[in-house]
Structures are given as structure tokens and as C-alpha cells.
Chain A
Amino acid sequence: GAGVSQTPSNKVTEKGKYVELRCDPISGHTALYWYRQSLGQGPEFLIYFQGTGAADDSGLPNDRFFAVRPEGSVSTLKIQRTERGDSAVYLCASSLKPGLADSNTGELFFGEGSRLTVL
């Protein structure tokens, strides 16, 4: 597609439920990132994929959070047993190459995020 697509745009769920958030990156982008943006704060890194594998998941807050990218394109962020503190906007970004490369090719393109509200 023309840009990074994230679905759903908004999700309201009850405490304890399971949630999946989907990210469809720009075609051809090998690097994919998930960030979490809590109200009034800047985004915080969650996980980075290079191809199909999670190259760095050090930002995932706990083992209730998991992400996959089975075919190296679409990624799904999965949250089990949701808590009210998980409420945030979850942003996905992709880049042609990892940010370690030239700053131009490593430029991140962000989606519009998925706003998760846990009641």
C-alpha cells in the first residue's frame, strides 16, 4: 500500500480480555517497529522486526505482550489479559532498511496508530 496501515483504528475492551492489533507496512520495507504512546507522552519503543524475526523485543513491558511477523510483511501485536494500564495508542512504523544504515534509507514511516482503551 501507499503507507503504513494499522487496524483497528480504535479498540475498546474489558479488563482481562485478549487483543490483537495489526500493522501492514509499506511494501518492500524489511524493518518494522512497534511503539506505544501513553496519554501526554512521547512514543516508547516496544519491538523491532528485521524480516520475520524479532531482532529486539527489549521494550515489551511484560510477557502479556507478544508480536509476530510470520511472512516478513504484516505484523500483529498481541496483548493477553489486558489491564487498564495498557490503554494507549500503539504505533507501527516501517523502514526500507534498519535505522543503522544511512539515515535516509533508515527513515521511519509511521501509521496512524491503534488507540486501545481498556475499561
Chain B
Amino acid sequence: AQTVTQSQPEMSVQEAETVTLSCTYDTSESDYYLFWYKQPPSRQMILVIRQEAYKQQNATENRFSVNFQKAAKSFSLKISDSQLGDAAMYFCAYRSANDYKLSFGAGTTVTVRA
């Protein structure tokens, strides 16, 4: 079974600053997908960014970017120019290319200070 570890229960960032969330995972597979999801108080999980393991280039989506280190099994999320609307719970997730189930980490609560 795959495990996803998020070692930071909470992170705080000043508005307009940058924050990095860490995620590590354990797998014996070579082909898989990694995701970061945002869960605001509304509880709806919203996909922030996706990374295919076979791609060496780090994914970016506007102010969100990842640092994917396949050998180290690390997948961190960087939020640049933090905005008040970024405040939420962030979950790292893994999916094997041969499966449809997502395995989630325990989440990191991000607080943005005005």
C-alpha cells in the first residue's frame, strides 16, 4: 500500500509572501500521479495541481508550483504571492497509473495573515 506523509499540520504565511508545503510518499511503482488538493471550509476538495511521475518538468499553475523529486519521493507545493483566499486545508495525494484510488496525506492547514 502507498503511504503519503505530510509532516506539517499547520503553516502560517503573511499575505503576498511565499509558503512551501512538504509531502513525501512511499511507493515501489515507477508510473504514478501526484496531486495537491485544496479543501476550504465548504469541504469541497478542489484540485490545485497535478504532476505525472514520468515528466521531469515541475508542474506550475499560476501562483502554485511543485518541486517533484522522484528519487527522494518528495512532492512539495509552493504558493507564491499568498492571498487571503488561499487559506484552507491542503492535501497531497498519490495515485498509481494502474489504479483509480487516491491515497491522501493527513493535510496541512494554511493560514494567511493580512
Chain A residues within 8 Å of B, Cβ to Cβ: 31, 33, 35, 40-45, 48, 56, 59, 89, 91, 93, 98-100, 103, 106-108, 110-113, 115
Contact = CB atoms under 8 A, between A and B. Distances in A.
Nearest to B45: A110
Interface of B: 4, 33, 42-47, 50, 52, 91, 93, 95, 97-107
A113 B43 contact: yes
A42 B4 CA distance: 10
Q: Which 5 A-B pairs have the closest CB atoms?
A: A42-B104, A99-B100, A110-B45, A113-B43, A45-B101
Nearest to B50: A103
Contacts of A33: 100-101
B37 to A, nearest CB: 8
A103 B52 contact: yes
A42 B91 contact: yes
A93 B102 CA distance: 11
Given A41-B106, A103-B50, 12 more contacts: A41-B107, A42-B91, A42-B93, A42-B107, A56-B100, A98-B100, A100-B97, A100-B98, A103-B33, A108-B45, A108-B47, A108-B102
B104 A99 contact: no
A89 B104 CA distance: 15
A106 B100 contact: yes
B44 A111 contact: yes
